[in-house]
Amino acid sequence: RINRLENDLSLKQGAGTVEELQKDLQQAVTAGDKPKVSEILESLLGMFKESKVTYDAVKTCKVGKDVGNAMKMGDPDIAALGRKAVGEIQALAQRAALGI
3-state helix, strand, coil in the chain (%, to 5): 85, 0, 15
* Domain with 35 in it: 2-98
Q: What is the mean pLDDT of residues 85-99?
A: 85
Mean per-residue pLDDT over the chain, rounded: 79
> How many structural domains does the chain have?
1
Question: What CATH number should be reported for the domain holding residue 45?
Answer: 1.20.930
> Nearest-CA neighbor of 67 among 11, 28, 12, 94?
28
Residue 15: the pLDDT is 47
CA 90 centroid distance within chain: 11
Q: Indicate whether 87 pLDDT > 80.
A: yes
pTM, full prediction: 0.74
- Structure confidence by residue, pLDDT tens digits, 37-59: 888 888 888 888 887 777 778 78
Tell me how far CA of residue 78 lies from CA of 13, 45, 56, 74, in angstroms.
26, 12, 25, 8
